[in-house]
Amino acid sequence: MPIPEFVAAVRAQVGTAPLWLPGVTAVVHDDAGRLLLGQRADNGLWALVSGILEPGEEPARGLVREVLEETGVEVEVQALAAVSTTPEVVYPNGDRSSYLDLCFLARPVSAASAAAAHVADDESVAVAWFAPDALPDDVAPSSRRRLAAAERYRADPGAGTVFAR
């Protein structure tokens, strides 16, 4: 997957030193309750749509951009479901990063937008809608954790966004 230009510019200065980066994840349900997943090109696992925010980008707008760029589906953000961090990730080239993840609930803006789901960039090899009780076996562990947090939020929105306390 391509490294965002701003991350490449920072990497040119700091090498492989750990970076703290803001990211977003989309839990997108269509009107039938199906969940949007992409099968990642780098490891073959199915995952929620996610990505790194650009400098100064509003998180919800970044989420809308990421979902459109990766799946061709235009979404509207409904709520911030969970806030979490990742352990350090070490990439094959030695780069190290940790992420602050903002997990949002979203929905397609229309049935036509949901039907337009397709592989829209080189980060995925497949994009599909799945019933929540019929997810593929090979869903990324990080996506399973975020889905569980999003479901906790959906079960009781009045309790607020899910985060470590």
**What pTM value is reported for the model?**
0.94
Instruction: Give 100-155 pLDDT, tens digit per residue.
Output: 999 999 999 999 999 999 999 999 999 999 999 999 999 999 999 999 999 999 99
What SS3 class is residue 146? helix
Q: How far apart, in Å, are the Cα atoms of 33 and each of 108, 128, 131?
A: 11, 13, 7
Strand partners, 80: 104
Cα dihedral 28, 103, 15, 7 in deg (nearest 10): 60
Tell me the three state secondary structure of residue 144: helix
pLDDT at 53 over 70: yes
Strand locations in 16-74, DSSP E? 19-28, 35-40, 46-47, 49-52
Contact call for residues 157 and 163 (beta carbons, < 8 A): no
How many CB atoms are located within 10 Å of the residue 109 CB?
Answer: 13
Do 109 and 28 touch, CB atoms closer than 8 A? no
